[in-house]
Structure 1
Amino acid sequence: MGEQGPEGKGGEPLDVKKVHYLVRLMKQYDLSDLEVTDGPYRVHLQRRGAEAAAAPAFAPAYPPAAYAPPPSAPAAAAPRPEPAAEAHSGPKTIVIESPMVGTYYSSGSPDSPPFVSIGTAVQPSTTLCIIEAMKVFTDIPAGVSGTISEILVKSGQPVEFGQPMFRVIPA
């Protein structure tokens, strides 16, 4: 593990979730090489061939020390896009999918009520949720007009790119 261990300056631990996120992005966009500097850390990821990913290696930007977490579990198969009305005998619905990889939050803070619930009327600019990725919180707008008929994820749940999150009955 090296002389300094997995902590950086000031004893702050490395965030392995960030590295897992970067590895997923590399796979998703078929990148072969990625380098990111985050504070005292420099992360350089390389993939071998088109399918196998090398174990990520960490190196602080100051004296050399390396840290490699255990290889991440194989990514779950990409979610199968569902036809909007499949398995529903009710009105035709529009599926709103996650535009990014991250953690889904239904409200702006733990004390706040959810942005939307079943039966909420939405416009294209209505905020449905927040997705957090690498400590960046992104508001996700509806993009359509209609009424929320189903919420397919729970607050705090990780979501993948293209994963269905909401069903909306169009207005």
Structure 2
Amino acid sequence: METKEIQKLIDFIAQSGLDEVNIETSELKIKVKRYGTGPAAAPAPVAIPASAPAAPQASAPAATQTPPSTPAAVDAEAHYITIKSPMIGTFYRASSPETPALVNIGDEIKPGKPVCIIEAMKLFNEIESEVAGRIVKVLVENATPVEFDQPLFLVEPV
């Protein structure tokens, strides 16, 4: 498939209103997914039978509610620098399964030091740090997909 044909396909999907399209042939595999273009889905209304008592209904279970983050938790991470993914792909902490992770919690890093690898379209891209500091948290599991601009690491500046 040529670039012109791929562009026509993307234009068609953009105009069609589809959110996801998967095309697979013997020599090609394409997956196109649209994010954040439609309105947020509203919860479905709940019908109450006419025979139901007029007593107030119980609120939703606590497991579905997300508590607001406490100011102390926000302040604790406010001084950290976030290393974000520069591309969509699969996040790897090491260059191969047999080698140790490029960085671990507590490691000192400096600009230019490789911190992870992101595989995109069968190309392995070594992601280098642009900051100096100490790794305090790894935010992504090894071998999982990441999105563009997704936080990968929290770094305490030195």
**1:3 matched residue in structure 2:** none
CA distance in structure 2 between the aligned counterparts of 1:131 and 1:120, rounded to whole angstroms: 20
Over the residues paired in the alignment, what is the CA RMSD in angstroms?
A: 3.7
- Select 1:104's aligned residue among 56, 78, 91: 91
Per-residue Cα deviation, 1:40-77 (whole angstroms, up to 9, x for no partner)? xxx9543242853574555678xxxxx999x8777589
**1:6 matched residue in structure 2:** none
CA distance in structure 2 between the aligned counterparts of 1:68 and 1:108, rounded to whole angstroms: 25
TM-score with structure 2 length normalisation?
A: 0.61
* Number of aligned positions between the proteins: 120
Is the counterpart of residue 130 in structure 1 residue 114 in structure 2?
no
Is the counterpart of residue 149 in structure 1 residue 128 in structure 2?
no
Gaps of 5+ in 2: 38-71
Query: What letter is aligned with 2:144?
Result: Q
CA contact (8 A) 1:101 1:159 kept: yes
Query: What letter is aligned with 2:96?
Result: S
CA distance in structure 1 between the aligned counterparts of 2:36 and 2:93, rounded to whole angstroms: 23
TM-score with structure 1 length normalisation?
A: 0.57
Query: What letter is aligned with 1:35?
Result: I
Identity of aligned residues (%): 32
CA distance in structure 1 between the aligned counterparts of 2:86 and 2:74, rounded to whole angstroms: 23
After superposition, the Cα gap between the structure-2 partners of 1:68 and 1:167, relative to the gap in structure 1 and judged at 3 Å, is closer
Considering fraction of residues, name the structure with more helix.
2
